[in-house]
Amino acid sequence: MHHFHYIRKRLFCEAVAVESLVQKHGTPLYVYSQRTLTEHFQRLDRAFAPLDHQICFAVKSNGNLCVLRALANLGSGFDIVSGGELRRVLAAGADPRRCVFAGVGKTGAEIEFALRRGVCYFNVESVPELERLNRIAARLNKVAPVAVRVNPNVEAFTHAKITTGTYANKFGIAFEQVEAVYDLAAKMKNLRLRGLQMHIGSQLTRVSPFAKAVRKVLPLARRLAEKYELEFFNIGGGLGIVYQPALASGPENWWKTPAAKDILTPERYGADLAPLLEPLGLKILLEPGRFIVGNAGILVTRVEYVKRTGKKTFVIVDAAMNDLIRPAFYDAYHEIIPLTRKNGAALKTDVVGGVCESGDYFCKNRPLPKVVEGDYLALMSAGAYGFVMASNYNARPLAAEVLVNGNQSAVARQRQPVEAIWSGEKLAPWLK
């Protein structure tokens, strides 16, 4: 569900013609729909209304200050994974007491900063981290609020690079060891045990793995909650979105096509989990990223060249893997549509960027309407893990970002001036 649609053949974001934004701001251009992310937030919030709960938006999926402020205004908290993200959230005017600090590699400086700013609690991923946290808190004469991240070891049925809840990956503490870790942490004087956390993976398109993980962790959560007077159970994020309206099927894709009653919607997610969670009596935290912003953003790009070789048609565009790396990194699918709707037969096309890597493509052999130089294309569902993963590879400046709200639009981030790419560099004295 989103608010990008054609009106008389022209693509609109809410009430704004996307082409008018391109004329003003150029390409490549990220365009976000505030109404879409607002509705997603509210839908999930409503689905958990029967429980005492708090949504903590995963900043790593989209950290733009406009996005963060819009969500903070709706009452969202934030899931942060670095000191930089905490500073970002503060810059957006959000309340640090609604921030939970996760990540396997928190540095001493990051921990100290978060303690001074008073985050809600730390999601701890290892025993050495607990010890470091305790040491730093003692030095600052503070008590660090913590939750331990339990790895429930369940299969999430998603891409290998975004599954996190099995023992094959680096996240969390093994289910069997968690209780002993709480007993250990309870002896550390400058820690306060406040909750338990889990997160099993990203882009999950079915409810059953979430329900399975919750069922598995529930008895442990109940024991720990009683023993240590915990306040929170954080069930993580990972709710998937629809990238490909017409899903590929076939035996190799069986995991992408769950049974109808298992297809993830926020309503079903809430309806299946709430009855399990309610008896626990804890405040439930959620850490969705992609679900809130994924379908709320598009990346608009201009066709530079149409190159026909023997059997193939390459459409070379001015966005590239440095702007949106998901296809190269995760084999991700993004729907590609023209800003001006076209009639006529579809042509098997590779849409590629200009970066010198064969991995720099947005799609391969996909039937697309015929386009010519100067046309604009939209890469749909690029709101999550899009701009945040952008880089300056090939000395390409970071794209601009625009926020749309009804018939208003505003630059959410200006296009990076090219000189800014090397502004931190200096010639060594002996080279001068």
The smaller minimum CB distance to ligand PLP, of residues 12 and 101, is found at: 101
How far apart are CB 118 and ligand PLP at their closest, in Å?
20
Round to whole Å and give the CA distance between 73 and 111. 26
401 binds ligand PLP (CB under 6 A): no
Query: Are 151 and 236 in contact, with CB atoms under 8 Å apart?
Result: no
The smaller minimum CB distance to ligand PLP, of residues 40 and 290, is found at: 290
Query: Are 64 and 86 in contact, with CB atoms under 8 Å apart?
Result: no
Task: Compose the 24-53 pattern: x for residues touching ligand PLP by CB under 6 A, - for all others.
Answer: ------------------------------
Positions annotated as catalytic residues are: 356
Round to whole Å and give the CA distance between 170 and 176. 16
The smaller minimum CB distance to ligand PLP, of residues 206 and 396, is found at: 206
The smaller minimum CB distance to ligand PLP, of residues 60 and 302, is found at: 60
| Piece of 32-40, 124-132, 185-193, 283-291 that binds ligand PLP (CB under 6 A) | 283-291
| Piece of 15-23, 70-78, 287-295, 394-402 that binds ligand PLP (CB under 6 A) | 287-295
Q: How many CB atoms lie within 10 A of CB 327?
A: 21
Omega cis (within 30) before 128: no
125 binds ligand PLP (CB under 6 A): no
Number of residues that bind ligand PLP (CB under 6 A): 18
58 binds ligand PLP (CB under 6 A): yes
The full DSSP string for 7-36 is ETTEEEETTEEHHHHHHHH-SSEEEEEHHH
Round to whole Å and give the CA distance between 32 and 67. 8
Q: Measure Cα distances from 313 to 143, 336, 346, 378 in Å.
A: 61, 15, 12, 18
How far apart are CB 35 and ligand PLP at their closest, in Å?
20
Task: Compose the 337-366 pattern: x for residues touching ligand PLP by CB under 6 A, - for all others.
Answer: ------------------------------
The smaller minimum CB distance to ligand PLP, of residues 60 and 88, is found at: 60
Q: 424: buried, middle or exposed (CB in 10 Å: 19+, 13-18, 0-12)? A: exposed
The smaller minimum CB distance to ligand PLP, of residues 355 and 390, is found at: 390
How far apart are CB 317 and ligand PLP at their closest, in Å?
26
Round to whole Å and give the CA distance between 415 and 419. 12
> In this structure, what token pair is assigned to residue 293?
């912003």
| Phi/psi of residue 254, nearest 5 degrees | -55, -35
61 binds ligand PLP (CB under 6 A): yes
The smaller minimum CB distance to ligand PLP, of residues 102 and 368, is found at: 102
| Piece of 23-31, 282-290, 355-363, 403-411 that binds ligand PLP (CB under 6 A) | 282-290
Binding to ligand PLP, residues 182-201 (CB under 6 A): 199
Cα dihedral 104, 108, 114, 118, rounded to 10, equals 110
Q: Measure Cα distances from 20 to 108, 304, 341 in Å.
A: 47, 19, 15
Binding-site member from 14, 45, 79, 231 for ligand PLP (CB under 6 A)? 79
| Piece of 24-32, 91-99, 288-296, 405-413 that binds ligand PLP (CB under 6 A) | 288-296
77 binds ligand PLP (CB under 6 A): no
How far apart are CB 260 and ligand PLP at their closest, in Å?
22
| Piece of 188-196, 272-280, 281-289, 358-366 that binds ligand PLP (CB under 6 A) | 281-289
Nearest of 196, 185, 184, 198 to residue 151 by alpha carbon: 198
Give the DSSP H or E segment for 424: none
287 binds ligand PLP (CB under 6 A): yes
238 binds ligand PLP (CB under 6 A): yes
Q: Which residues contact 28 (CB under 8 A, 6 or more apart)?
A: 299, 300, 301, 302, 318, 319, 323, 399, 400
The smaller minimum CB distance to ligand PLP, of residues 130 and 204, is found at: 204
Binding-site member from 60, 106, 194, 302 for ligand PLP (CB under 6 A)? 60
Q: Which residues contact 178 (CB under 8 A, 6 or more apart)?
A: 148, 150, 196, 220, 224
How far apart are CB 1 and ligand PLP at their closest, in Å?
16
The smaller minimum CB distance to ligand PLP, of residues 2 and 60, is found at: 60
Q: 9: buried, middle or exposed (CB in 10 Å: 19+, 13-18, 0-12)? A: exposed
> Alpha-carbon torsion 133, 134, 136, 140, what sign?
positive
Helices (H), 253-289: 266-277
| Piece of 6-14, 179-187, 285-293, 317-325 that binds ligand PLP (CB under 6 A) | 285-293
Binding stretches for ligand PLP (CB under 6 A): 58, 60-61, 79, 102, 199, 202-203, 236-239, 287-291, 384
